[in-house]
Structure 1
Amino acid sequence: MRLRHVIATVTAGLAAATTLAAAGPATARPANTPAGHACSATVSIDRFSDALDKTTYDGTFVGNFSALAVDRDGSIAALEDRSQLFDLDARTLQPRSAVHLADENGADLDSEGLVIDRDGTRLVTSEVEPSVRRYSRDGKILDRLPVPSSLLVAPAGRATFNQTFEGLTLLPGGHTLLASMEDPIAGDAADLVRFQTWTRTRGGHFRLAAQYAYRIDAGLGVPEVQATPDGRLLVLERGFTAGVGNTVRLYLADPRHATDTSGIENLTGQPGVRPIRKTLLADIAACPSLGATARQPQPNPLLDNIEGMAITGRDHTGRLKVLLVSDDNQNPVQTTRFYYLRVRV
């Protein structure tokens, strides 16, 4: 999303990607990760790249990235929140093509979540309604998924404008799609957001399925979620404090024993409702800066407005290779930055 949390006081494509080569732009770091690159006991950072910061492709600004996905040919699909979907070379990150997305009336989307389905179609969320649509590779709308009325933006529903479907992921097996709300809806507790799922039906359509509660840290929201190969979730939580900078934390979450909250009107922490369990993997501010610089105050100059995430494969030790990207909001004091992590789950 274009406007971020401001706190005044404070694996569908995994198999295709297991052999992705590491990017090698000017700011890239060595492929092997010394112990000094540890962010936590379970997360390390290989390198980062600012290669696409403030660049253009075929006359189109490259940035505003809100989501990443691995395409079937191993390339990286990078979604802008301003209706552009780029195809990036996995090694150099250089754009190879761009497709403009629109709604049924030809209007631009506030495009936030992205999944490359097993047939190559694109599932894309827009957070202003919110909506989930299926697109062909060339940007033609193929389908639109149902959304519970309570998750629609007020006055149609109880969600807040620009704080809806930010994350999107397909669970292992390809039968269940999951979207994460960024912030709570009206009537729910301030620390509980809803994760909505859909189940695949015949003909490639999706019907509404279970919904789960996820407990966020104070002042943070959920910009992205990605399914791990075993059915758990990597969840990004993020916030921004003026004059201080970003907070970005990576969690491992397990929805498999959570309560289906689709029939619960107000989530207030009531007994018997089990939210998705989560475990902190790393606070990205604890990662080594690797020589990164920031154009605005940050707890760590490596940090920016991190919003997109994709699991791109495994290394020889079995750790997940995770690619993050920041949304620069086309702002001169922010940076489009890619982060290459290794995560042990």
Structure 2
Amino acid sequence: MRLRSVLAPLAAPLAAALTVGLTAVTCVTAAGPAAAQNASSGNVPARNACSPAVSIERFSDALDKTTYEGTFVGNFSALAVDRDGAIAALSDRSALFTLDPKTLRPRSVVPLADESGAALDSEGLVVDRDGTRLVSSETEPSVRRHGRDGAVLDRLPVPDALRVAPAGRATANQTFEALTLLPGGRTLLAGMEGSLSGDTPGVVRLQTWQRDGHRDFRLAAQYGYRTDTGLGVVESAATPDGRLLVLERGFTSGVGNTVRLYLADLRHATDTARVNTLTGQDGVRLVSKTLLADLADCPSLGATAKQPQPNPLLDNIEGMTITGITGITGITGITGTTGGSRDALRVLLVSDDNQGATQTTRFYSLRVRL
């Protein structure tokens, strides 16, 4: 998004290639008795720990301020793993890149537009099981299905209340920022970045769609999710067990970005599709969430920042996808059998540089233990 503050089966070589493809940096060992205790108990990798659940393996600025076939490479708002293992990277300036899974260099780019040919403020991305692309925009908001060539194929229904005022109760640039497909491929979820008018500030709506064996999605349950003060939902990624990784982000001028990674669980949450306003005192059970890491606590790995940041590693992080599972004996596809409690998700993040001089297009490789 502008300056305001999927799962697909994949083979073992993809996750390994992503590890190789990101720029290598000097490893930093987590210091102190707590890190040593966590490492000895098997709760967290001792190297590059951000928290007991998350470690950062490396980062890359290699694509920052570059172009490909005349198109600026950046403004990335979402990532997804394509069916062939490539990385689909969505620019919020109406472009969809395909990145090499080993080097993360662009292989191709296609333009995106709405039905009338107008540019999209594209924010969320899912590669569907047939290879088509589901893209959310925070303008109307909308979720459109695009072919691999970028052509619009169809459009999903959206509840009236989630539309931007005066058509609905949403605020411009605060709508469908996050998009993910739950395991099994039948449930699609879009996360609103900000609250609806009338809802308690900080409580946002998560809208789902379902299908029964066909390509067409129909409106389904909706849930309430409470963000941390001053933060908004910018991305989500479904885990193999049906929970969600949720990325919350905010920006404070002169201070920098706050980026936190949560594990969320939709089970036991109230369906709020028919709840007009979420006040926090209406008996509605919100989606439960558990903090996995505040990325300001990660080792900087020698990163530099172009503007003040609480950690120079941080930037305007917006995109996230799960690329595989790593275990004590190696790496498997995310749909494969895993080897027990020491398995962890490989997670790829990217920042949106807004094509500006004070921000960086940066990829981050994380290891996340649930």
**Which interval holds the TM-score relative to the shorter structure?**
over 0.9
1:270 is displaced (CA, Å) by: 2.3
Relative to structure 1, the CA distance from residue 26 to residue 209 in structure 2 (aligned partners, 3 Å threshold; closer, same or farther) is closer
Q: Match for 1:335: what amino acid?
A: T
Are the counterparts in 2 of residues 30 and 46 from structure 1 also a CA contact under 8 Å? no
2:202 is aligned, of 177, 188, 191, to 191
Q: Match for 1:331: what amino acid?
A: G
Q: Match of 1:212?
A: 223
Q: Match for 2:248: what amino acid?
A: E
Are the counterparts in 1 of residues 25 and 302 from structure 2 also a CA contact under 8 Å? no
Which 5+ residue runs of structure 1 have no aligned equivalent? 6-10
Aligned: 1:285 with 2:296? yes
SS in 2 for 1:37: coil
Which 5+ residue runs of structure 2 have no aligned equivalent? 30-44, 329-342
Aligned: 1:12 with 2:7? yes
SS in 1 for 2:123: strand
1:174 is aligned, of 160, 164, 185, to 185
Q: Match of 2:211?
A: 200
Q: Match for 2:3: what amino acid?
A: L
Q: Distance in 1 between matches of 2:273 and 2:120?
A: 26
Q: Match for 2:294: what amino acid?
A: D
1:202 is displaced (CA, Å) by: 5.1
1:272 is displaced (CA, Å) by: 2.2
2:68 is aligned, of 57, 70, 78, to 57
Q: Match of 1:8?
A: none
1:123-181 CA-to-partner distances (Å, cap 9, x unmatched) read 00011000000011111111100000000001100100011000000001001000000
Q: Match for 1:19: what amino acid?
A: P
Q: Match of 1:233?
A: 244
Aligned: 1:22 with 2:33? no
Are the counterparts in 2 of residues 49 and 338 from structure 1 also a CA contact under 8 Å? yes
1:82-122 CA-to-partner distances (Å, cap 9, x unmatched) read 11000000111100000101100000100000000000000
Q: Distance in 1 between matches of 2:11 and 2:198?
A: 41
Aligned residue-pair number: 339
What is the TM-score of this pair, normalised by structure 1?
0.95
1:36 is displaced (CA, Å) by: 3.3
Q: Match of 2:359?
A: 334
2:271 is aligned, of 231, 238, 260, to 260
Relative to structure 1, the CA distance from residue 302 to residue 188 in structure 2 (aligned partners, 3 Å threshold; closer, same or farther) is same
Q: Match for 1:341: what amino acid?
A: L
1:286-308 CA-to-partner distances (Å, cap 9, x unmatched) read 00000000010000000000000
Percent identity over the alignment? 72
**Rg larger in 1 or in 2?**
2
Are the counterparts in 2 of residues 212 and 276 from structure 1 also a CA contact under 8 Å? yes
SS in 1 for 2:275: coil
RMSD: 1.5
SS in 2 for 1:150: helix
Q: Distance in 2 between matches of 1:174 and 1:316?
A: 25
What is the TM-score of this pair, normalised by structure 2?
0.89
Q: Match of 1:90?
A: 101
Q: Distance in 2 between matches of 1:220 and 1:185?
A: 15
